[in-house]
Amino acid sequence: MSARWKVLSSRKVYEAGGRFTVSIQRIKLPDGRIVKDYYQIWMPESAIIIARTAADKVVLCRQYRHGIGAVSLVAPAGTGEPGETTLQTAKRELLEETGYSGGKWRFLGDFALHANYGSGTVAVFLADGVKRTAEPVSDDLERTEVVLKSRREIAGAVKSREMVSMGTIASLSLAKYL
Amino acid sequence: MSARWKVLSSRKVYEAGGRFTVSIQRIKLPDGRIVKDYYQIWMPESAIIIARTAADKVVLCRQYRHGIGAVSLVAPAGTGEPGETTLQTAKRELLEETGYSGGKWRFLGDFALHANYGSGTVAVFLADGVKRTAEPVSDDLERTEVVLKSRREIAGAVKSREMVSMGTIASLSLAKYL
């Protein structure tokens, strides 16, 4: 099967205020062909959290997402701060965004948002038995409504198009909620 | 709930050779606050296809994906050519990448790869009862191995980390294969 591509050189061509960078790589394919301009989008690693309560409801956020241009139901998620492990990021984001914490945490794996562009590895966590312990303290631009959803309601949200984020859907599937 | 953000202006700041563009938007939030630099990554709409044979196997591609830096199991997918509907894109990509065609096609919805950045709406299709009718004709950089996977093998591929693309996992979940 195809072997790893060799990156001959890489130059940063755009830096988006610390959020992501665009690079152009010069690449040598396994068959010897040279690709002069393979674009990569680099984003910091992020964490997404499927958190369930003792009553088997999943803690989700109803939030305007500008990339979609609509209010959407998404799993809590966020990018890491300097020095954080992805587990620390996940716990911080869950608490900040929803006010829930505690429970037993399990790492479900690192996944790829864009297998071509390399933009953003996502560490998926399952938190089992979380409780509301604080008020959400979000400094996000979006106002967030924290909602608890059953398995059946989650399936309904996909059908009704209230849930359209592939990251959220994939994570719920990995956690066996879809 | 939060209303739609108002885009006051938008300027393209980077164009990646027709593959994607980066824009900075000036935005007015529902509460009146102004955000001066909200980044958006625009990518063409793409299609992803969960195609199953009469024997209930899913047609997948084992392919090196440079964004991951590894060989990965992904669903056939691709971006539209000028003038194509997403259904036409989906049928063309399936045939080109795998040599499979035919069957009954169903649109499962448009989904978002990145709910924040707007990068790339993905139209998900389920093709039921496809058959191998041609040789794959791929001009992709990656050599592709076409493989047929059962439900159980798909679950195994996620566990073994052979399948890590969130788009593929979400699409398989939408098609009830995960």
pLDDT in tens, B135-155: 998 666 777 899 999 999 999
Q: How far apart are the first and last CA of chain A?
A: 32
pLDDT on residue B119: 63
Return d(Cα B72, Cα B166) in angstroms, integer.
Answer: 12
> Which residues have C-beta within 8 Å of that of residue B61, sequence separation ≥ 6?
B73, B74, B75, B76, B97, B98, B144, B145, B146, B147
Residue A38 has pLDDT above 50, yes or no: yes
Helix (H) or strand (E) holding A24: strand A20-28
B78 → chain A, closest CA residue: A116
Q: Is A87 on the interface with B (CB under 8 A)?
A: no
Identity of residue B27: I
User: What pLDDT does residue A42 have?
Assistant: 84
Which residues 89-108 of A are in CB contact (within 8 Å) with B? Answer: none
| Chain A CB contacts of B28 below 8 Å | none
Check A166 against B71: CB less than 8 A apart.
no
Q: Given the structure tokens 């990995």, which residue do they identify?
A: A174
Strand B100-101 vs strand B131-132: parallel, antiparallel, or unpaired? antiparallel
A98 contacts B149 by C-beta, under 8 angstroms: no
Q: Which residues of A touch B29 (CB under 8 A)?
A: 141
Write out chain B residues lying below 8 Å of A161, CB-based.
109
Q: Could you tell me whether strands B70-74 and B131-132 are parallel, antiparallel, or unpaired per DSSP bridges?
A: unpaired
B69 contacts in chain A (CB < 8 Å): 4, 118
ipTM over 0.85? The verdict is yes
The verdict on A4 touching B (C-beta cutoff 8 Å) is: yes
Cα(A143)–Cα(A151) distance, integer angstroms: 25
- pLDDT, residue B120, reads 72
Look-up of token digits 């990018």: A79
Which one of B1, B2, B112 has the shortest CB-CB distance to A166?
B112
Is the pLDDT confidence value at A1 over 60? Answer: no
A74 has a chain B CB within 8 A of its CB:
yes
Residue pair A90/A175 in contact (Cβ under 8 Å)? The answer is no
